[in-house]
A and B are shown apart, each in its own frame.
Chain A
């Protein structure tokens, strides 16, 4: 794909809730086949930024460019239509439904002919597509007809991520995908994120876990008090630098001068 134009670029974006300035003058971009970790302390504006991109909040000022074109994202459906998929921390899965049913929820395949009239679902078609998608992502779920409620946290996270990929999005945003997961489960989810990158998706991961950040991210974008506090190349930056940017402590270099991409 076009290597030069970022999938998504925000320029000078600001957002306030009444007197609270949640985001001020933030520049942010993410490219194809790139995993950007979005880090920051509580209240730094991470979720506001994600929600602005996902269309849940509208931005007050600044430009949003999607694949080089200026766009206005005024609702979640706008974001979905552009090709932006978001997996929130609560995953929004129905525990009483199985993997296939959850993946296709709200966009079930309907059969042809008379089946279409009564919205009869094409179960075999959906199951086949689920198997294809999961094996492409190397997600190991033995029984796609098992209820999601009986699955481990890691599996549920994988199901939620797989669901976001069903619409072939260009940008996938994951909110705290490894929170509350064990070591093995975390490795499973991080492996999945790497495969998203290999497939050429742009990925934004919101996380608190710096070990995850250095394990999976190409770039680390730090927010502090609603402002950009650093944009690091994950291969070159040290954990101390990132922590300093997050906390605002005077340690070493300031994040803005670090080896980011801009």
Chain B
């Protein structure tokens, strides 16, 4: 997966300072966590290497494709969680919301005979509405988001039982719904997507540089950009090559990438995205700057609810059923752990939606690899926990380094 991205600030800092002392600078920024994406890609590489040595099948195209498919549901939910973390808040209800919304979709389509489009739309909107409700309670009564969403974590599984009714399980047979995770595109389509994606990335990168040059601002050297574009191109081409070697480019991956790109754009290029970072960095300063902190918070919780619903629908599609334990168990914690492992701060104001995708891949790689090795769940849980802990410690060290370096 592409390792570019990162906050706009990090990307440009690289640009301006990278000219004078490229090597020293790179090392410093790596330690201080400005290059969180690169760090997590390295972690991913290490994990993959370890599993590959133990079990060469781990890096087979079939397994890698499965791994990516397994990561989509968690990744989608984690995208919403990332935005909440950027605010410096937390949403503990996303797992429960994903289960409930998956159940709503399944019942509407399979039992009530609704059209799949309508069923999916209503389920997604149910997630949005839950986010609106929780965000409004959180802001209106100034109750910590932790507690409000903890209540949701307890309450929504009850609603899920209610929706599922007596049988407790609804099988999904509708081809539109199952197709969300079982559609694969032909090799040609895969290559077209790859070329188009690389072309678009190259065009945006170079146009952005040109705009800066024309405005008379410091611009990154062309060589840096060409290297960056080259790395992204290689990553994309290898990914497509691996996917094509198996069943082809999955629709689910496109859906996940689409949402990541959408929210990457929103968080880094629009005023609303800027306000999310501002509220997460210093809510009082944001308020005094005339930003409606409350509106930003409510909308972000609505996004988290929406993404939880979408993740729940993808999970249901992959499992071909919704049952009482959908969205339960470790689903919530994995969705929160994913962005954190990849470097999104729990203290707000720092992170990127790319972390949702990269972190979901890390977590899913660990889980998938240990399944391949036939390890017990007990070991799986402990290893995942250890990786999360290590990631958070690295984040804390990075923050301290940053503060130490800050006081010049």
Contacts and interface: CB of A to CB of B under 8 A. Distances in A.
A143 interface: yes
Contacts of A147: 9, 406
A95 B407 CA distance: 13
Interface string B342-355: 00000011100000
A94 B281 contact: yes
A120 B217 contact: no
Interface centre among A94, A95, A119 (most CB of B within 10 A): A94
Given A96-B349, A127-B215, A143 B17 contact: yes
Contacts of B221: none
Contacts of A106: 286, 289-291
Contacts of B277: 94, 96-97, 101
B281 A97 contact: yes
A123 B402 CA distance: 25
Nearest to A124: B215
A67 to B, nearest CB: 24
Nearest to A155: B408
Contact of B16 (A101, A121, A143): A143
A101 B9 contact: yes
Contacts of A107: 289-290
B278 A124 contact: no
Contacts of B350: 96
B282 A95 contact: yes
Interface residues of B, number: 38
Contacts of A118: 270
A98 interface: yes
A128 B406 CA distance: 25
A121 B13 contact: no
B27 interface: no
A152 interface: yes
A145 interface: yes
B259 interface: no
A217 B408 CA distance: 29
A119 B272 contact: yes
Contacts of A91: 285
A94 B349 contact: yes
Interface string B289-323: 11100000000000000000000000000000000
B188 interface: no
A51 to B, nearest CB: 13
B215 A110 contact: no
A91 B289 CA distance: 11
Interface of B: 8-9, 12-13, 15-17, 211-212, 215-217, 269-272, 274, 277-278, 280-282, 284-286, 288-291, 348-350, 402-403, 405-408
Q: Which 6 A-B pairs have the closest CB atoms?
A: A106-B289, A96-B349, A94-B281, A96-B281, A150-B406, A92-B285
Interface of A: 76-77, 90-98, 101, 105-108, 110, 118-121, 123-125, 127-128, 131, 143, 145-147, 149-152
